[in-house]
Amino acid sequence: MVDLNHNHTATNGVSTNGALTMTLEDVHERGSDRQIALNLVGISDIQYPLIVVDRDSQTQQTIAKFSLGVDLPKEDKGAHMSRFVEILSQFQGKVNLAEMPRMLDLIRTRLDCDRANIQVAFPYFLERSAPVSGATALMDYECSYSADMDNFGSTAVMSVRVPVASLCPCSKAISDYGAHNQRGYVTIEVKAVQPGPEIWLADLIEIAEKSASAPVYPILKRPDERYVTMQAYENPAFVEDIVREAAWSLTQDSRVLWCRVNVVNHESIHNHNVFGSVEWHRFGSEG
C-alpha cells in the first residue's frame, strides 16, 4: 500500500508530494540529421485582436491574422513555437509599424536567432459619405504590415488594397454614347523614411482613389449614382494611367522611401483582367 500522505523523495522522475519532477527531454535540442538551414519557420494564421491608430489619433480595434517566423540554423532540429504565442500575447494586440522593431528584437532574443519576421493582415474600416446625399456607412480595406529584422538592420512595409472604379478612355473615344467601365483594385506598398513623420493608411487610400476614374462607396442613393457615373465618365483612365498617377503621388511624398503600386482592373466586356505595376526607390535602387 502507498501512503498518499507521506512525502516521497524524487527518484527516477517519481514525485515529491505527488507532483511530477522528472525532467522532460527537449527534442528540439537533438539536432538535425539533414543539416539544411531554413530561411523561416514559425506560426501562421493565428487570429488576434489588433488596435490600429488612425490619422486623427483615434484607435480602432480589429481582428488580424499573424504570421511570425525565424531563421533556423542547419544544426537545430526545430524552433520553440510556443514562444511566438507568448510574445504575441505580451503585446496585447498593440502592434503597428512603430512597435514592430521592438517585437522583432524580442523574438530574436527569446528564440536565439539571427532573423525574425512578422506578417499581419487585417481589415481596416473608414466611415465614408456618399458624394451628394451624404449617406454614411463603413467601408473596409484589406491592409497589412510586414517587418523583418536581422543582424544588418530592419525593414517595415505597410500595404493597403483599395477598390476603385475606372472608365475606358478608348471606349469613350470610339462610342457614340456611353463607355464600358469596371471595378479595379489598387494595391500600394510603402516603406517610410526613418526617422520621419508617419505614413497613415488613410493617406494611401486617398492616393489610390484619386488616381482612378472614381472612388467606390459603401452606400449610394440615386443622386449619388448619377454623380459617380458622370465623375467616372469625365475622368477616363487606363490601368496604366492609374498606376502612373498613384506612383507619381507617392514619389512626391517626402515620407516615402520605397513604394510598389499594382493595379488590376476586372474587365466588364473582355474575358480577361488587365494589370499594371511599378516599383520605385527614393535613391534609385532598394537596399
Q: What is the per-residue pLDDT for 25?
A: 74
Q: What is the pLDDT of residues 173-213, one digit of tens each?
A: 999 998 999 999 999 999 999 878 889 999 999 999 999 99
Tell me whether strands 116-129 and 274-281 are parallel, antiparallel or unpaired. unpaired
- How does residue 58 score in pLDDT terms, banded at 50, 70 and 90? confident
User: In whole angstroms, what is the distance from residue 117 CA to residue 109 CA?
Assistant: 13
Q: What is the pLDDT of residues 244-253, one digit of tens each?
A: 999 999 999 9
Selection from 71, 84, 109, 268 nearest residue 178 by Cα: 268
Q: What is the pLDDT of residues 68-96, one digit of tens each?
A: 999 998 888 888 899 999 999 888 767 77
Q: What is the per-residue pLDDT for 222?
A: 97
- pLDDT for residue 236 is more than 80: yes
Q: What is the per-residue pLDDT for 82?
A: 93
> Which residues on neighbouring strands pair with residue 151, listed in sequence order?
none
The helix/strand/coil state of 175 is coil
Q: What is the per-residue pLDDT for 4?
A: 45
Write the CA distances from 187 to 63, 123, 169, 268, 277, integer angstroms. Answer: 20, 14, 22, 20, 9
CA 158, 163, 168 angle in degrees (round to 5)?
Answer: 125
Q: What is the per-residue pLDDT for 239?
A: 96
Percent of the chain with pLDDT over 70: 90
Domains of the chain with bracketed CATH: 40-281 (3.10.270.10)
